[in-house]
Amino acid sequence: MFRCTVSLWDSDEPVPRAELLKGVEGAHGLLCLLSDRIDAEVLDAAGPNLKVISTMSVGFDHLAIDEIKKREIRVGYTPDVLTDATAELTVALLLATARRLPEGIQEVKSGGWSSWKPLWLCGYGLSGSTVGVIGLGRIGLAVARRLKPFGVKRLLYSGRQPKPQAQEVDGEYVPLDSLLCESDFVVVSCALSPETQGLCDKAFFTKMKTTAVFINTSRGAVVNQEDLYEALTAGQIAAAGLDVTTPEPLPTDHPLLALKNCVVLPHIGSATYSTRGIMAKLTANNLLAGLTGEAMPSELKL
């Protein structure tokens, strides 16, 4: 039992930059969200006391890792505890997009529903399909496990190297181009890095099937949104579902929001009561361990 002085930004709105820079002065520890960019400026403002940063996320693209490493600051994050909720949301988004749920609901509310018709609102089913997962990490694998019993015929994945755990889902390691040409569903599940920034661009979408469904629940910056818009309106791909965008929030007049075949969710991948509770606890415990110089439950290797 030890005593901390805690400075809390007590609002649902993110802390303004100026407030953050002031608030971190002399801090030993910093607990943040993915909407807080922790770069050299923040670290300098904090000063030499800062020994631990604990983020309530598994993604760490908002943290300037090199700067943090240089200053020997430890980092805690929340892998694993949010895998189930995020994989579940990814599948929810895939199904909602492929089976045209938002369109259906819109028709119902606006009087477009007259009677049962054989070809109305038909979508693409998973049964007999080929699914391609880009980045078969914890979340990608969890998504693949959940899709399998829907009758997926082939599970392809791409990444820097093959993964032994892919065997569990009969995953086939293929070059990205093959994945794009052969997949009926493309799910992006990789981390955002300089290599994956803008990965999903015009060339990417051109290689996909015109009946394919594209899903991104990783990070918005992996996708070139202008090229995606182009691909969707030109019929290069059938539909897209996004839980992440650039920026977040996406402005309400953004062209992607007007497309019937584009489903946009406001970054709710891990949004379940139980998961957020567990994430919060883990984030706090990571922070406390960092402050007392102990082993963290989930430390990010820098």
Partner 1 sequence: VLVVTITNLLWIHTFLSLCSSLFFLRVQFELWDSDDPIPRQELLKKVKGCDGLLCVLTEKIDAEVLNAAGPNLKVLSTMSVGFDHLSLGELKKRGIRVGYTPEVLTDAVAELTIALLLATSRRLIEATHEAKTGGWGTWRTLWLCGYELADSTVGIFGLGRIGVAIAERLKPFKVKKFIYTDVAPRPELAAAIQAEYVSMDELARQSDFLAVCCALTPETQGICNKNLFSKMKNTSIFINTSRGGVVNQEDLYEALSTGQIAGAGLDVTVPEPLPTNHPLFTLKNCVILPHIASASYTTRNAMSALAANNLLAGLRGEPMPKELQL
Distance CA 46, CA 42 (A): 6
Contact between 47 and partner 1 by CB under 8 A: the answer reads: no
Contact between 8 and partner 1 by CB under 8 A: the answer reads: no
Q: What is the DSSP letter of 8?
A: -
Tell me, residue by residue from 243 to 282, as one string, x for binding to partner 1 by CB under 8 A and - for no binding. Answer: -----xxx-x----x-----xxxxxx--xxxxxx---x--
Among the listed residues 68, 126, 213, 288, the single contact to partner 1 using CB under 8 A: 126
Distance CA 278, CA 227 (A): 37
Stretch binding partner 1 (CB under 8 A), from 72-80, 90-98, 213-221, 223-231: 90-98
Stretch binding partner 1 (CB under 8 A), from 17-25, 32-40, 200-208, 286-294: 32-40
Sign, Cα dihedral of 41, 45, 48, 51: negative
Tell me, residue by residue from 128 to 147, as one string, x for binding to partner 1 by CB under 8 A and - for no binding. Answer: x----------------xx-
Closest separation in Å from C-beta 265 to partner 1: 5
Nearer to partner 1, 60 or 204 (CB): 60
The overall longest dimension of the chain from CA atoms, in Å, is 69
The residue whose two tokens read 């139980």 is 274
In order of 98, 111, 125, 156, 167, the CA distances from 237 in angstroms are 12, 28, 15, 18, 29
- Count of positions on this chain that bind partner 1 (CB under 8 A): 69
Distance CA 272, CA 85 (A): 7
Beta partners for residue 188, in sequence order = 134, 216
Task: Name the helix (H) or strand (E) containing 91.
Answer: helix 83-98
Distance CA 301, CA 290 (A): 13
Closest separation in Å from C-beta 165 to partner 1: 14
CB 186 within 8 A of CB 157: no
Among the listed residues 6, 18, 72, 127, the single contact to partner 1 using CB under 8 A: 127
Contact between 168 and partner 1 by CB under 8 A: the answer reads: no
Among the listed residues 118, 164, 194, 293, the single contact to partner 1 using CB under 8 A: 118
Contact between 105 and partner 1 by CB under 8 A: the answer reads: yes
CB 27 within 8 A of CB 7: yes
Contact between 65 and partner 1 by CB under 8 A: the answer reads: no
Active-site annotation holds for 267: yes
Provide the CA 136 distance to its chain's centre, in angstroms: 13
Q: In what order do the strands lie in the sheet with 213-216?
A: 171-173, 154-158, 130-134, 185-188, 213-216, 239-242, 262-264
Nearer to partner 1, 236 or 245 (CB): 245
Residue 262, token pair as written in the block:
């584009």
Nearer to partner 1, 79 or 123 (CB): 123
Nearer to partner 1, 13 or 195 (CB): 13
Contact between 35 and partner 1 by CB under 8 A: the answer reads: yes
Contact between 2 and partner 1 by CB under 8 A: the answer reads: no
Please give the backbone phi and psi of residue 138, each rounded to the nearest 5 degrees, phi first: -55, -50
Contact between 81 and partner 1 by CB under 8 A: the answer reads: no
Active site residues: 267
- In the complex, the residues that contact partner 1 under the rule CB under 8 A are 12-14, 33-35, 56, 84-85, 88-89, 91-93, 95-96, 98-102, 104-105, 107-128, 145-146, 148-151, 248-250, 252, 257, 263-268, 271-276, 280
